[in-house]
Amino acid sequence: MSKTRPNESDASDLSMHPLLLSVNVDHIATLRQARGTTYPEPAAAAALAEEAGAHGITVHLRSDRRHIQDDDVRRLATSTIGKLNLEMAATEEMLEIATQLRPHQVTLVPERPEEVTTEGGLDLVEGQEHIRAAAERLTAEGIAVSVFLDPDPRQVEALGSFRPSLVPGFEINTDAYTRAVDHMVDIEINKIIAVATQGAAAGFRVFAGHGLTTSNVGRIAAVPELEELNIGHWIVCRASLVGMPQSVQEMLAAMRAGRD
Ligand code: PXP
């Protein structure tokens, strides 16, 4: 089947501003690694997600290789039609891999071996020299750089010392919002709105993700500064019941409903 690269017009029905969906297929690899089989393949899931309307694909190559493997990234680097976003720690090993495989974008994340999933954003206030060095290396290879930050205005202020030509965008960690209950939901969404406004005003592109589901994505989709959401666990879980195309379409519909 011939495929066309998704473009801005695909996203234009999502709102006055396009809001793109990057589907994280890490947990397709989790299923495969659980049994040491060759299936299911993240690249096959990614193709189905893109066919269903996803605008890009995200994978996190962890240093412990618990789910995504180097070969998965290699395959996705040639098969992904939209943007391939590689999440990774700013280590020498990962920088070597990224500069060889040249995804469209790298999102730099902190990584702790014992964590179940990424537990928080980078700390640019405490130290940013190794992030700056990594961003310079990636940018020199033509790879766009994003950094994963908690919705903390001090982190976005620290990001301001990077030029948008070096780090064009950042991803807001939505984890606390997705876990919040009662009055904390408003508190957490307001933090996200504040840093999205702050970051966009400083000239950065603003992305968001972590823990998003069709039930909680609406208020995030309503934040007009946001350009792209990175969503994995929910989409893969739902895909295990109804298939990847329907799962992606349900998420796109929930995003559209929140944006309208
Ligand atoms: N963004 C970042 C930086 C992540 O590490 C993850 C999890 O891999 C996600 C987004 C997606 O989170 P979830 O799988 O909960 O949708």
What pLDDT score was predicted for residue 16? 56
pLDDT in tens, 58-73: 999 999 999 999 999 9
* pLDDT over 80 (residue 246): yes
Range with the poorest average pLDDT among 10-24, 55-69, 130-144, 206-220: 10-24
Region 199-216 average pLDDT: 98
What pLDDT score was predicted for residue 115? 82
Considering 50, 111, 210, 228, which one is annotated as catalytic? Answer: 210
**Contact 89/63 with Cβ under 8 angstroms?**
yes
**Would you call 35 exposed, middle or buried from its count of C-beta atoms within 10 A (0-12, 13-18, 19+)?**
exposed
Place of tokens 């739902």: 238
Q: Which atom of ligand 1 is nearest to the CA of 26?
A: 8
Q: Length of the chain in residues, anyone?
A: 260
Q: Which atom of ligand 1 is nearest to the CA of 27?
A: 14
Q: What is the pTM of this model?
A: 0.93
User: How is residue 41 annotated by DSSP?
Assistant: -
pLDDT in tens, 10-42: 443 444 578 999 999 999 999 999 999 999 999
Cα separation, 48 vs 225, in Å, equals 28
Q: Active site includes 210? A: yes
Cα separation, 245 vs 53, in Å, equals 8
The token duo for 66 is: 């618990």
For residue 87, how far is its CA from the centre of ligand 1 (angstroms)? 9
Q: Active site includes 188? A: no
Which of 97, 117, 95 has its CA nearest to residue 26?
117
What pLDDT score was predicted for residue 116? 83
What pLDDT score was predicted for residue 119? 82
For Cα atoms 114, 116, 117, give the angle at the middle one, nearest 5 degrees.
Answer: 115
Considering 87, 188, 225, 250, which one is annotated as catalytic? Answer: 87
* pLDDT over 70 (residue 4): no
With a Cβ cut-off of 6 Å, ligand 1 is lined by 24, 26, 60, 87, 107, 109, 117-118, 148, 171, 209-212, 230-234
Average pLDDT, the chain: 93
Which of 89, 139, 144, 91 has its CA nearest to residue 118?
89
| pLDDT above 90: percentage of residues in the chain | 87
The dotted CATH code for 16-259 is 3.20.20.70
